[in-house]
Structure 1
Amino acid sequence: MHFSIDDVSARAGHVGLSLGDGLVIHAWDRVRIDDHRRLEALRPAPGWTP
C-alpha cells in the first residue's frame, strides 16, 4: 500500500483500525483484534522489516 500524509509519501505493510480502549482490528496472519501494545511484537511479514 502506498499513501501520502502532509505531502510525504510512504509504503505501508500493515494497516489497522482503532476500536477504542487500546484495541486494534487488523489482518496479519488472520483477521484479529489485539491490544495496540502487542503490535510491535508481531514478526514482520516476508519482505518487510520491523
Structure 2
Amino acid sequence: MLWTIIGILLLIWLLGFIFDVAGGLVHILLVIALIVFIVNMIRK
C-alpha cells in the first residue's frame, strides 16, 4: 500500500514537470512522498 502511494505521488510529480501543472503543488507532493519513504525505512 505504502509503495503504491509513493509510486503515484512520484508519477504525479513527473507529470507535473512534463506538463507544468499545479506549480508548487507538485513539489509538495514530492516532499510528502520522500517523508513517507523515510518514515517507512526508519520503522523497519
Q: Does TM, normalized by the shorter one, top 0.5?
A: no
> TM class by shorter-chain length?
under 0.3
Structure 2 length as normaliser, TM-score? Answer: 0.25
Q: Which one has the bigger helix percentage? A: 2
Q: Which has the higher contact order (CA 8 A, sep 6+)?
A: 2
Structure 1 length as normaliser, TM-score? Answer: 0.24
Q: Which one has the bigger strand percentage? A: 1
- Report which of the two structures shows the higher radius of gyration computed on alpha carbons: 1
